Structures are given as structure tokens and as C-alpha cells.
Amino acid sequence: MSKRILVVEDNDLNRKLFCDVLRAGGFSVEPVADGKEAIARARAFEPNLVVMDIQLQDVSGLDLIAHLKGDSALSAVPVLAVTAYAGKGDEERIRLSGAEGYLSKPVSIGPFMAAVKGLVGTN
């Protein structure tokens, strides 16, 4: 059975790219455009990993990560945070919110897949 990855990304092109690359890598993918739906979709989909954009239009990705980590059914699911705003201190702040992985945009496919595989435990 393939690993399940929830992709929370409000940019249509980025969401499609992440999903296409992950599907090509053999993963089952559930795309979410609206951050407000992310928690409910995560509960229903039961992902092995959440790829989370930090700069969402309707809700803070940092708040969503904290909410995921505070949910008993989802707290063990690793989060790979992706952000276009990679300023000083951002990675530390994102990791402190609960994200196990961090990549800055633009994301290159090789490092992205390496981070995903590292977090879901596949080689």
C-alpha cells in the first residue's frame, strides 16, 4: 500500500506540481487548496505526511501545524513545511511550531523528494 500525503497549498500551480511529482513517486496524494479544510481532510485521509505551505491565504500555516500537532489523531503525522519566505529565523520558528521538515521555495524536485522520503520512511 502506498504512503498517503496530504498537500496543503493554495497556489494552483505549486499544488499541481507537488501532487504530480508525488504521484510519479508512487505516493497516494490528497490536495487541499483551502487551509481551513486541512484538519478535516487530514482526519478523513489519514496521511503519512503533510506537505504544508506556510503562507496560506486564509489561515497561517504555522497555526495549522500547531493544530495538527495538538490533535491526538494527527499529532504523530510528520509535517514538511514549504515557504517562499525564507528569512533569518524562519526555519527555527517553523520547526518550533512542530514541523519536522523545512524547504524554501522555489523547491527543487530532488531535495523535495529526498525530504518526503526521509519523513515517510521510504528509501
Q: What residue numbers bound the domain in which 17 lies?
A: 4-120
**Is the model's pLDDT at 87 over the cut of 90?**
no
Residue closest to 54 by CA, chosen among 99, 23, 16: 99
Compute the Cα dihedral for 67, 38, 54, 110 and give only its sign.
positive
CATH no. for residue 68? 3.40.50.2300
* Rg, Å, the chain Cα set: 13
User: How far apart are alpha carbons 103 and 121 in whole angstroms?
Assistant: 18
Q: Using pLDDT thresholds of 50, 70 and 90, give the confidence band for residue 95.
A: very high
- Report pLDDT digits (tens) over 8-37: 999 999 999 999 999 999 999 999 999 999
- Number of domains the chain is built from: 1
Strands (E), 2-109: 4-8, 28-32, 49-53, 79-83, 101-104
Q: In this prediction, what percent of the chain has a pLDDT beyond 90?
A: 85
